[in-house]
Structure 1
């Protein structure tokens, strides 16, 4: 289990957004835009083609980590690998633990786990987008749905344990977007 988790973490720590911006000669993406190492911030810095390439790379590493875990250890290690690849994406050791938010890597991992789960989570995100008309709050709908739907739609060992842990790792990197969620739901900022 430790071997698979370690490999998945290392795979997750490959930051395609950081590499794309560096290779384009634009410096460190952590010092630009939102500071997030992901496709959305790459879009701001390099444009749509680079952002799509970053999304595909992040998505692919999520899928590949689970494929590797399945071949090396079977289905009992799938959620361990999902947790580790997202942890590596969000907190890459070689970038001082400053990474992305984990949604693209989580999407790739989820597609490997169960396509029906993936579609259900996408529906949850679309519902969040329809209600709030904003992308950041829609991510919270997906994050909140993941630990509820994973045990229902998969027969994976210990999904009741690993799916909330995965959600917490993704949620942690989205906490700075919480005011946006609350504002989109009609909550006013306090003066205090």
Structure 2
């Protein structure tokens, strides 16, 4: 399947506004990949496919979580999380995507995880801050992403957790683990450069 065929498959799964969002995520992911040295082809593919199952019926996603051995604890949390791990399974099965790095970037673009790869970070942050996003804190993430992808990711996770807490919603544990991991990573002492 070539890129144009994949694009047509994705467009059939999404609303017009969500397809426009996906295009902006692709553009942003390519910019971040270029800036921070990630694989641009993989960033483009993961961004293209990241919301593949976004509008699937809740019952269908629930069935896939149960029957495909995905983490059952997902079912106890907001269904907005579900399309990412479900989508990774479906694009592997139906679109033949076998690259585990691409699949993981899709799988964790809503929750994050500890030890995120560079590609994971690029797709997560691109989805969070694409130019169409308008909510408190997104401009700060955009500013941070000019220089430091890890700082931008940490701020994205902080904002997401604060939003959920303020709404009285549960926070998925993997998101907390991702945030705690990034706190340690961002705040660890930097090695001193040796003077010449």
- Tell me whether the two structures share a fold, i.e. TM-score over 0.5: no
Tell me the TM-score normalised to structure 1 length.
0.40
Specify which structure has the higher proportion of helix: 1
